Copies of this chain bind each other. A is one copy, B any other.
Amino acid sequence: MSTPLSPDSLAVLARQAIEVPSWAYGNSGTRFKVFGTPGTPRDPFEKVADAAQVHRYTGLAPAVAIHIPWDKVEDYDALTGYAHDQGVAIGTVNSNTFQDDDYKFGALTHEDAAIRRKAIDHHFECIDIMGRTGSRDLKIWLAEGSNYPGQADLRGRQDRLQESLQEIYARLSGDQRLVLEYKFFEPAFYHTDVPDWGTSYAQVSALGERAMVCLDTGHHAPGTNIEFIVMQLLRLGKLGSFDFNSRFYADDDLIVGAADPFQLFRILFEVLRGGGLDEDSPVAFMLDQCHNVEDKIPGQIRSVLNVQEMTARALLVDREALATAQRAGDVLGANAIFMDAYQTDVRPALAEWRASRGLPEDPMAAYAASGYFEKISAERVGGTQASWGA
């Protein structure tokens, strides 16, 4: 076998799993325009069907994250069963407090206790759904903040956020977890209530052991060294999950690895270095992307392949030689060892790996040849195409 990957590395690849988001299969766009596309799902079942395609061709995406209320259904057993039939599971449950007029000035942080109550209750509903779908993680991303200096009481909001999270956290049971995402800006422009990893870390540390931080790779200020944060959160035992995507400037939500593949490599190296892909790792991996102009299912296939490719490259780093060079202060030598892994083309080895597991060597081509897109384009006529609003 021509693969440069060691047995240990192959074992890591074998257990790598990346949740795909149900909303990636619906329409999305910018504030300027959302383009419609043929074959777009009209309900959560159709989204799950599309998500299952990604797993079928890659073996990398055994679970689908859902978003409430976008993925509300009458019967969660039916949805869970349908997913199972498609070969996937329902994964993380995402709450949503940004599309209700009541939340214009906040949800978990709102000045008005009645609105906080409503937002907390929404999270209780999510936890109930988790119980029915067998999901472990409740992921909370908050759109809360303000647009103008003086508009909001930054401190009061932070205190109320902690109180609201306490209530939600107390509702968890068994091995359920709460993961709190941070985001630098948008949709609020002046201040965001959870803008950085430090805030998320301080908030979840005050909750307890089953509260963790979610790191979205697109949610940082320009110039931020993201792999450093990965290292730090793993070191502090608080890295709960990843939202993978890529960006050139803002929160572009592009295909992970598309904007800066080397950065993705460095991130995955720190994940490995910190035990994030060990067997008992607490880190969940997810995509969070918006396929505004590209095809959605192939966009997702490309995404999980990108993560796998950079993981494989990161696995190639000769860590012993690297440590020796680092200890010696050999800047160029250490960098060369690191880059040597990054510059290696692992695609042939991964194609072999896939073939050895009964998967197509070229998942993009196999999907394209499958006729699935033509089928859904023909079948899914009428109804309302899923998007962020539904």
- Give chain B nearest CB distance to A279 CB in angstroms: 20
From the candidates B202, B263, B331, name the one contacting A295 in the complex (CB within 8 A). Answer: B331
Whether the pair A329, B30 counts as a contact (CB closer than 8 A) is no
Stretch of A43-51, A170-178, A231-239 on the interface side = A231-239
From the candidates B104, B202, B223, B323, name the one contacting A249 in the complex (CB within 8 A). Answer: B223
**Binary contact readout A13-37 vs B (1 if CB under 8 angstroms, 0 otherwise):** 0000000000000001111110110
Given the complex of chains A and B, what is the CA–CA distance between A331 and B222 in angstroms? Answer: 26
A375 an interface residue at 8 Å Cβ cutoff? no
Whether the pair A223, B221 counts as a contact (CB closer than 8 A) is yes
- Which chain B residues lie closer than 8 Å to A317 at the CB level? 150
- Which chain B residues lie closer than 8 Å to A104 at the CB level? 35, 293, 329
Whether the pair A298, B332 counts as a contact (CB closer than 8 A) is yes
Whether the pair A228, B191 counts as a contact (CB closer than 8 A) is yes
From the candidates B31, B111, B293, B309, name the one contacting A327 in the complex (CB within 8 A). Answer: B111
Given the complex of chains A and B, what is the CA–CA distance between A337 and B302 in angstroms? Answer: 13
Closest-by-CB residue of B relative to A101 is: B35
- Which chain B residues lie closer than 8 Å to A293 at the CB level? 104-105, 147, 151, 331
Given the complex of chains A and B, what is the CA–CA distance between A221 and B220 in angstroms? Answer: 9
From the candidates B28, B148, B195, name the one contacting A225 in the complex (CB within 8 A). Answer: B195
Given the complex of chains A and B, what is the CA–CA distance between A258 and B36 in angstroms? Answer: 36
A284 an interface residue at 8 Å Cβ cutoff? no
A353 an interface residue at 8 Å Cβ cutoff? no
Whether the pair A250, B185 counts as a contact (CB closer than 8 A) is yes
- Give chain B nearest CB distance to A60 CB in angstroms: 17
Point out which of A152, A227, A343 has the most chain B C-beta atoms below 10 A from its C-beta.
A343
- Which chain B residues lie closer than 8 Å to A331 at the CB level? 146-148, 151, 293-295
From the candidates B33, B222, B329, name the one contacting A222 in the complex (CB within 8 A). Answer: B222
Stretch of A73-81, A87-95, A129-137, A154-162 on the interface side = A154-162
From the candidates B220, B225, B228, B339, name the one contacting A150 in the complex (CB within 8 A). Answer: B339
- Give chain B nearest CB distance to A218 CB in angstroms: 10
**Binary contact readout A186-203 vs B (1 if CB under 8 angstroms, 0 otherwise):** 110111100111110110
A292 an interface residue at 8 Å Cβ cutoff? yes
Given the complex of chains A and B, what is the CA–CA distance between A331 and B254 in angstroms? Answer: 12
A248 an interface residue at 8 Å Cβ cutoff? yes
**Binary contact readout A245-266 vs B (1 if CB under 8 angstroms, 0 otherwise):** 0011110101100111111001
Whether the pair B343, A184 counts as a contact (CB closer than 8 A) is no
Given contacts A198-B198, A254-B148, A294-B148, contact A273 B155 (CB under 8 A): yes
Could you list 11 A-B pairs, sorted by A, with CB under 8 Å? A31-B187, A105-B293, A147-B252, A150-B335, A150-B338, A154-B227, A155-B270, A155-B273, A189-B248, A250-B250, A302-B332
Pairs A-B, 10 closest by C-beta atoms: A150-B338, A198-B198, A221-B221, A222-B222, A30-B187, A189-B252, A294-B331, A345-B345, A223-B249, A148-B335
Contacts A147-B331, A151-B335, A196-B196 aside, 19 further interface pairs with beta carbons under 8 A come to A28-B31, A105-B293, A148-B331, A148-B332, A148-B334, A149-B258, A149-B262, A150-B322, A150-B338, A153-B326, A158-B231, A185-B248, A189-B250, A189-B252, A195-B228, A198-B229, A294-B332, A309-B343, A343-B345
